[in-house]
Structure 1
């Protein structure tokens, strides 16, 4: 499981013209793009959620848990794209939707159980993600 985390001042996911998840510009937050591979499991989703919740990348070396920063979770199978050969990425390392969707949900649920205010994109949908990266700060988490 990979999580590409961006510190944001705002972020929004739109599907078919409708906003399905959003971090408003009133506060710093985290946009978490989540990729799942074949050997991931709910325990790994839990550990990554804990790591993200405690990650000190907000202003003043604070974590989302310190200030109650909102988190927008968006599934992103392309985090497992392989570009080592040719010009066309392969997606063999990405788990199929039937495996990935419950694990992305488990990640978001684990964050909520930790006390996070979490919104999500729509798994498998054609999503438009807009964000203002703050810093910019972008970090990849992986177990």
Structure 2
């Protein structure tokens, strides 16, 4: 799985003008399932995300995790994280999992975060979403379970 984490003071997703998910303060997590990902991959990524020390402690250092701060998460499926731009000017997305599999893994990832005690909401898989956020820092981290 591939993910982009953005530390936010708030974030939200709307579809057709209606809120479908929101969080803050915490993490906006854009996630892409890749071929070969499974439940173990999901659990590994969720555990890593929950423990990454991306939040400031009393001394202003990034020493606290999402679990330690009691922050929340907004998880948004984003197949474009699998973009292959190595040839031509039009990205290819064959590196992303097929839609049915991707949706299952995406929902399992959000559930895994909830199971770890992180309040978690999601966007709407496959929808044309508008994502709004206030990036805190800014802090943006890229994760790939293969690397």
User: 1:139 is matched with which residue: 120, 138, 141?
Assistant: 141
- Distance in 1 (alpha carbons) for counterparts of 2:110 and 2:22: 14
Partner residue, 1:54: 51
Q: Does 2:29 correspond to 1:32?
A: yes
* TM-score normalised according to structure 1 size: 0.95
Partner residue, 2:23: 23
Q: Which runs of at least 4 in structure 1 moved beyond 3 Å after TM superposition?
A: none
Partner residue, 2:89: 87
User: 1:106 is matched with which residue: 105, 108, 111?
Assistant: 108
Cα displacement (A) at 1:133:
0.7
What is the number of equivalent residue pairs in this alignment? 140
Q: Secondary structure at the match of 1:86?
A: coil
- Distance in 1 (alpha carbons) for counterparts of 2:103 and 2:70: 25
* TM-score normalised according to structure 2 size: 0.93
Cα shift readout 1:30-76 (whole Å, capped 9, x = no counterpart): 00000011110011000100000011001122111001100000000
Cα shift readout 1:75-132 (whole Å, capped 9, x = no counterpart): 0000000111111000010111111000001101111111010000000000000111
The structure in which a higher percent of residues are strand is 2
**Pairs within 5 Å for 1:107-126:** 107-126=109-128
* Unmatched runs of 5 consecutive residues or more in structure 2: 58-62
- Distance in 2 (alpha carbons) for counterparts of 1:111 and 1:23: 13
* Unmatched runs of 5 consecutive residues or more in structure 1: none
Q: Secondary structure at the match of 1:90?
A: coil
Q: Secondary structure at the match of 2:127?
A: coil
Q: Secondary structure at the match of 2:54?
A: coil
Coordinate RMSD, CA, aligned = 0.8
- Distance in 1 (alpha carbons) for counterparts of 2:122 and 2:8: 15
- Distance in 1 (alpha carbons) for counterparts of 2:121 and 2:56: 21
